[in-house]
């Protein structure tokens, strides 16, 4: 596990010489649980957040909406028997 953590830090050091875009749906305070080491997480976040702009975005998932639209378009006939998928929310409603 420690080797994996070192590989993550080294990869970030290699790619951070230019512009890098990183996305995560986890808030920073949950990264320690994911990486398993408070020390590693602190070092990683220190490197990641040095000279950066952090954009926090909240809203509907674009991928969920697109996936629901594809499922709806591909299986309209099948969905009529079981229910209808709302392309905006991905929810299935019974008719």
pLDDT tens string 14-65: 665 677 777 888 888 898 988 888 998 898 888 888 888 888 877 777 788 8
Q: Which of 39, 28, 54 is nearest to 2 (CA)?
A: 39
- 85 class by beta-carbon count within 10 Å (0-12 exposed, 13-18 middle, 19+ buried): buried
The confidence score (pLDDT) of residue 53 equals: 86
Better pLDDT: 17 or 81? 17
Q: Phi then psi for 58, rounded to 5 degrees?
A: -125, 140
Residue boundaries of the structural domains of the chain = 2-48, 62-93
Q: Would you give the distance in Å from CA 73 to the centre of its chain?
A: 25
pTM exceeding 0.75: no
**Structure letter (DSSP) for residue 39:** H
């Amino acid at each position: 596990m420690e080797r994996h953590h070192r590989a993550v830090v080294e990869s970030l050091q290699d790619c951070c010489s230019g512009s890098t875009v990183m996305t995560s749906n986890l808030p920073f305070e949950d990264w320690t649980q994911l990486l398993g080491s408070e020390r590693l997480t602190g070092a990683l976040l220190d490197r990641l957040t040095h000279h950066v702009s952090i954009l926090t975005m909240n809203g509907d998932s674009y991928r969920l909406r697109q996936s629901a639209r594809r499922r709806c378009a591909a299986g309209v006939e099948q969905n009529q028997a079981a229910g209808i998928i709302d392309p905006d929310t991905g929810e299935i409603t019974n008719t």
